[in-house]
Amino acid sequence: MSSDSVTTPTNFIRNIIIRDLETGKHDQIVTRFPPEPNGHLHIGHAKSICLNFGVAAEFGGRTNLRFDDTNPLKENEDFMLAIMEDVRWLGFEWDGLFHASDYFQQLYDYAVHLIRTGKAYIEELTAEEIRAYRGTLTEPGQNSPFRDRPAEESLDLFKRMKAGEFEDGTLALRAKIDMASPNINMRDPVVYRIRNASHHRTGNEWHIYPMYDWAHGISDAIEGITHSLCTLEFEDHRPLYEWFLENIPAPSMPRQIEFSRGNLDYTVMSKRRLRELVEDGRVSGWDDPRMPTLAGLRRRGFTPEAIRAFWADMGISKADSIISMSVLENAVRNDLNVRAPRTMAVLDPLKVVLTNYPEGETEWLDAPVHPQNEEMGTRQVALTREIWIEREDFMENPPGKYFRLKPGGEVRLRNAFIVQCNEVIKNDQGEVEELRCTFDPETRSGMPGASRKVKGTIHWVSAVHGKPVEIRLCDRLFTVPNPLGEKGRDYREFLNPHSLDVICNAIVEPAVAEGTAGDFYQFERTGYFCHDNVDSKPGKPVLNRIVTLRDSWARIEKEIAQGKR
């Protein structure tokens, strides 16, 4: 309704929190972001980060970063460090930094409590047997023969498990709940398993490690988390989350609330698939600029501001969704349009000689850094007799709507003057090799004659001052919107062969070649580009295309090609 007022978009979780504050259920809200350090964060995680940190900040609460490091086989320090870097880069700072492994002793003590109260037992069935006893989706499970063993016996076994007396997989601690429950999670879930493995934080201290369901809820309770926000697949686990906390002397009672993941089209968004792409060498790493990982997006040149704005726009709900990539692209264009310095760069150079311009002369022209923001100042652009223009800005036999250079035609050189094409020089293969043009000195930018109108304006770079750079044209990783949704086909079949096209000899204004990692620009009429934070080196600049500019000519051109115009 309110179109002219900027309000924080609401969602069902925010509404719950507002109510909890109003009713006095909580004085302060506490959330947490709980990644498992077994891979890199992706833009879907950013949704959760923005939600958890955002909603706590809005209501003066706190947010912890807690690593869910209960599986030493898959987790490590490197992932942990990378995750912290990603969260900070996104623009958030945690109040407390914790690890589930910080609570291993308490988790153990609570398990002892559960055994003592007759609500857990040591299982001797093998994993396969447990599966067989569990029943199916439509048939109830059967009680384990070890289910009713004396608590003392279980306690003794549990202590010996902890002491490292048993091999992996031989015993397990199970909660005694209900083998006939229609919710399979309640059919005596495993609470602890034996893993004689070294943990990246606790070393060889433990031989048993808690399962997610046990560790997560209790960790939340220990930290006084008020709202434990997670994704939809944990909805079935909520009864278990609550059962555990109700059956131990829990220090607090957090509430788990589920929301839907945020998927994007033309990519994949699970750590498992992303890991496969990395390990199969389909991409150069977790930070490949085509990856939807935060490391990849950062390297590509996406800004944290754009990603935050994107998720703020998207909102939170419980409906499964695959968001159109165009929405993300819009968010980054909106952000970069305001902030990116403008510059001219020629991606596919075609030489132009200005025949009436003196040889050997260089003239420095003033050009605005940003046409809508004078405060960003001006830059000097070198003009010489020989310049490069974009090959696609010249056509020998153009269609009617073509506003760029053509034989005998006129066009404005951005920030300079109007030129006319007099001669087209071709090589033996008949390819256009060079254009001979004359310029009209009266039409120089800033002079009275500059008001003369021509249809088109094109960008250019001095052939003597321009610097060569490598440019990586990043595009969508897959050729279909939902690579995982193509029945009977492997998603890798749909990898886009042109997701990363490399241009070795693009020409840029000298200042761009001097840029350093992370510097971004708008190449006028082309798109937004950013110095690659890994491969761009002094003397050997490499820039990634973050996103193209919107291009209405491309649509017209396509329609012409299809004979619609």
Partner RNA sequence: UGGGGGAUCGUCUAGUGGUAGGACUGCGGACUCUGACUCCGCCAGCGGGGGUUCGAAUCCCUCUCCCCCAGCCA
Distance in Å, CB of 472 to RNA, minimum: 20
Instruction: Determine the residue type at 381.
Output: V
Identity of the residue, 29 or 194, whose beta carbon is nearer to RNA in the bound complex: 194
Length, in residues, of the chain? 565
Distance in Å, CB of 433 to RNA, minimum: 22
Identity of the residue, 15 or 516, whose beta carbon is nearer to RNA in the bound complex: 15
Within 8 A by CB and 6+ apart from 30, the residues are 56, 61, 62, 63, 64, 223, 224, 225, 226, 227
Identity of the residue, 288 or 393, whose beta carbon is nearer to RNA in the bound complex: 393
Distance in Å, CB of 126 to RNA, minimum: 5
| 30-33/345-346 β-pairing | unpaired
Instruction: Evaluate the CA torsion angle 210, 213, 216, 217 in order and state its sign.
Output: negative
Distance in Å, CB of 437 to RNA, minimum: 16
Strand partners of residue 470: 542
Active-site residue (options: 134, 147, 261, 391): 261
- The CA radius of gyration of the chain, in Å to the nearest whole number, is 31
Identity of the residue, 415 or 533, whose beta carbon is nearer to RNA in the bound complex: 415
Identity of the residue, 120 or 458, whose beta carbon is nearer to RNA in the bound complex: 458
Distance in Å, CB of 233 to RNA, minimum: 4
CA distance 208 to 198: 11
Q: Is residue 430 classed exposed, middle or buried when 0-12, 13-18 and 19+ CB atoms within 10 A define those classes?
A: exposed
Residues of 544-554 as b/e, b for ≥16 C-beta within 10 angstroms? bbbbbbeeeee
Contact 62, 53 (CB under 8 A): no
Contact 174, 187 (CB under 8 A): no
Identity of the residue, 525 or 534, whose beta carbon is nearer to RNA in the bound complex: 525
Measure CA of the first residue to CA of the last residue in the chain; give whole Å: 40
Active site residue 36: yes
Distance in Å, CB of 461 to RNA, minimum: 14
Residue in 469, 472, 465 with CA at minimum distance from that of residue 507:
469
CA distance 369 to 377: 6
Active-site residue (options: 14, 32, 36, 404): 36
Identity of the residue, 192 or 494, whose beta carbon is nearer to RNA in the bound complex: 192
Distance in Å, CB of 526 to RNA, minimum: 7
Contact 539, 530 (CB under 8 A): no
Residue in 485, 138, 477, 486 with CA at minimum distance from that of residue 320:
485
Within 8 A by CB and 6+ apart from 163, the residues are 207
Active site residue 453: no
Active-site residue (options: 32, 162, 238, 271): 271
Active site residue 406: no
Distance in Å, CB of 539 to RNA, minimum: 28
H or E segment and range at residue 380: strand 378-383
Residue in 352, 366, 345 with CA at minimum distance from that of residue 409:
352
Identity of the residue, 47 or 288, whose beta carbon is nearer to RNA in the bound complex: 47
Q: Which residues are catalytic?
A: 36, 261, 271
